A and B are shown apart, each in its own frame.
Chain A
Amino acid sequence: MTTYFIYAGVGLCFLMFLALYRVILGPTAIDRLMGVNVIGTKTTVLLIVIGLIYGRVEMFVDIAIAYALLNFIATVGAARYFQHRKNLCSVGFGLRHKEDKGDTTE
């Protein structure tokens, strides 16, 4: 069973490298943030798998809880920060850009 968990862990690491493609080459900052969120969710699972491999799961599960909480807080915080960046992308769309399109009825 340990061999199976080692394969599962290696597979998860491989998928994290695939998601790293989006983090490095993402066209906008929000794309990178999404890649980081996906990697963080995989890391939570990977921590428990590592704990089962080493037979110390009662220690690693606490780290996994803390990592899940931190991942959520970091994602929400970074998303709130980028929410007020107007020039994230050169083309405007959305509620904030309504007036730029010549919609001056108000």
Chain B
Amino acid sequence: MHFIYMFLIMFGFWIVLSGKFDAFHITLGVISCLIVSFLSLDLFFHETKKKGRIAEVVRFLSYIPWLVKEIVLATIHVAFIALRPNVKDNIDPKVIMFKTRLKKDLSKVTFANSITLTPGTITIKVSDDEFYVHALTKKTAEGLPGEMEERVGKVFKEFGE
């Protein structure tokens, strides 16, 4: 069953990339998609199947607009610091460490990428539940982990119902 899903995803991707619908190209696509999905089946879908996957995707999509807003703010923040005179007076960088309450790998990855994309903070290292974060100013260092951990936890249902 996973093999068929994989094949359909691969074949849709082939159609988008090639854009030709004659018999020759379609046959080539079917052959190469079969080979690729046979070889790389164990890289995807290794997690055991569980319910609520679609609801998780929907909640993740509702998380994206907030993330986009934060990315825009982050870029404006960095651009503002970079274009003002006296860069060294405006920043006060610092490496901080905190422990997270998130358990699943996927939510940790999402949380780390979100930290990197939000204003003034960047993830250096994640080991088990310790996050090493480099903060550009004192104000942004105080805001961690804060609101974002709540939101990520809500997306992946980490903190129970």
* Co-assembled chains A and B: yes
Report the Cα distance A65→B13, complex, angstroms: 13
A31 within 8 A of B: no
Partner of B125, one of A58, A62, A65, A95: A95
Residues of chain B at interface, number, CB under 8 A? 3
Q: Which of A72-86 contact B (CB under 8 A)?
A: none
Report the Cα distance A58→B125, complex, angstroms: 40
**A-contact bits for B90-132, CB 8 A (1 contact / 0 none):** 0000000000000000000000000000000000010000000
Q: Which of B1-53 contact A (CB under 8 A)?
A: 17, 19
Main secondary structure, interface of B, reads: mixed
**B-contact bits for A45-64, CB 8 A (1 contact / 0 none):** 00000000000001000100
Report the Cα distance A65→B125, complex, angstroms: 29
Report the Cα distance A101→B125, complex, angstroms: 20
Closest Cβ–Cβ distance, residue B103 to chain A (whole Å): 23
Residues of A within 8 A of B17 (CB): 62, 65
Main secondary structure, interface of A, reads: helix
Residues of chain A at interface, number, CB under 8 A? 4
Residues of A within 8 A of B19 (CB): 58
Closest Cβ–Cβ distance, residue A99 to chain B (whole Å): 17
Q: Which residue of B lies closest to A93 (CB)?
A: B95
Report the Cα distance A58→B20, complex, angstroms: 12
Report the Cα distance A58→B19, complex, angstroms: 10
Residues of B within 8 A of A95 (CB): 125
Report the Cα distance A65→B17, complex, angstroms: 10
Q: Which of A19-73 contact B (CB under 8 A)?
A: 58, 62, 65
Closest Cβ–Cβ distance, residue A88 to chain B (whole Å): 15
Q: Which residue of A lies closest to B19 (CB)?
A: A58
Residues of B within 8 A of A58 (CB): 19
Closest Cβ–Cβ distance, residue A15 to chain B (whole Å): 13
Closest Cβ–Cβ distance, residue A95 to chain B (whole Å): 7
Closest Cβ–Cβ distance, residue A104 to chain B (whole Å): 21
Residues of B within 8 A of A65 (CB): 17
Residues of B within 8 A of A62 (CB): 17
4 contacts between A and B (CB under 8 A): A58-B19, A62-B17, A65-B17, A95-B125
